[in-house]
Amino acid sequence: MDYTGFLREVALGRVPAVALLHGPEPLLLEDAVASVSQAVFPAGSDLSLVRESFDGKDASPDAIVQSALTLPWVGTHRLVVVKGAEGLGSRQGERLSAYLRSPNPATVLLLLASASLPPSHWLLGAVPRTSIVPVLRPSGGQLTAWLRQRARSEGFTLDEDAAALLLDLCGDDLTQLRGEVEKAALAGGPDSRHIGVAEVRAVVGEHRLHNIFELTRALAAGDAGSALRLSESLQNAGEDPLGVLAMLAREVRGAWQVTEGLRAGRREEDIARDLRRPPAAASALIRRARSLPAGAPTRLLRRTWETERRLKLGGVPRAELSLLIADLCAG
């Protein structure tokens, strides 16, 4: 079952007694727990009485099974959540394996692994196949749909063009996007439930907005001098270097998407529509992608990943980003 299908089943009240969700996006795992809690427990329930959490690195499988076998004190169900389930060792897992074959119907056991599990991991053989849910990061149009759906779950209406603008400005980090949606909601006033382009602009600020669009334009034109200047301006204004990197990576992914589409024989207008960008920006990106040597977008995409790794290992942000920009503009 995929993640969207799992949430759909939960929303319909069809919550499995056991589910293993595995993937590297913590926000999606948190959303799954919230959705199950909402489906299983009445509004206003004291979750401390009906929900228990464990850390897979520290908890013993016996303790998890004992909790799962405990009958609910109030209501009809209990929820047992095991975070970091990838840390559960197979040697001590015999009792847990036995429980997974015959779970307590009054308990929902959620096993959450904060990484995609390799095929050899013992949990993938112990948990019923229909209860294993890969949690993959949404991309492209899925990301826009996810952002709008999440805003809707919190009582807001997020316009499609406003969602696209947020993605343009903030990249694809889900946690950051959630925060920006919350800030944009506040920009409309305490009683507003609508988030449009105006609210997004109020959040990001016109100066930052201008610099981001100009940086995008400079990259599409291969103008290294302007791109370096704008990157410096954004960082001087307090922009997180990883946020700037996300903007750069988005342009590279766009160029890769264009080249893959052209290689597959797709029409330019279809490719431009999938890019979900203003017409002028999409046209500029397509022209830029056409000018790149064969294999360059893939190589540059790997280059952005390498820069991210260096930054997270303590690399000097301005130097790493400057070198990356120079490479991206040179093609």
| Tens digits of residue pLDDT in 52-74 | 999 988 888 899 999 999 999 88
Contact criterion met (CB below 8 Å) for 103 and 109:
yes
pLDDT on residue 207: 58
Fold assignment, 141-204: Helicase, Ruva Protein; domain 3 (1.10.8)
Locate 78 and state its tokens: 């209990």
The residue extents of the domains of the chain are 3-134, 141-204, 207-330
CB atoms within 10 A of CB 61: 22
C-alpha distance from residue 259 to each of 92, 145, 251, 275 (Å): 50, 24, 12, 12
| Tens digits of residue pLDDT in 228-278 | 988 887 887 677 888 889 888 888 888 898 898 888 898 888 888 888 777
Which CATH number applies to 3-134? 3.40.50.300
Do the domains spanning 141-204 and 207-330 agree at the CATH topology level? no
Architecture (CATH level 2) of domain 207-330: Up-down Bundle (1.20)
Rounded Cα–Cα distance for residues 282 and 254 (Å): 9
Question: Per residue of the chain (331 residues), what is the pLDDT tens digit?
Answer: 899 899 999 999 999 999 999 999 999 999 999 999 999 998 888 888 899 999 988 888 899 999 999 999 888 999 999 999 998 888 777 889 999 999 999 999 999 999 999 999 999 999 999 999 999 988 777 888 889 988 888 888 999 988 888 887 776 778 878 888 888 888 777 778 889 988 888 877 665 767 777 888 888 788 899 999 888 878 876 778 888 898 888 888 888 988 988 888 988 888 888 887 777 778 888 888 888 888 888 999 999 999 999 999 998 999 999 999 998 888 7
For the chain, give me the number of helices (H) and strands (E)?
Answer: 17, 7
Q: Provide DSSP, 299-326.
A: HHHHHHHHHHHHHHTT--HHHHHHHHHH
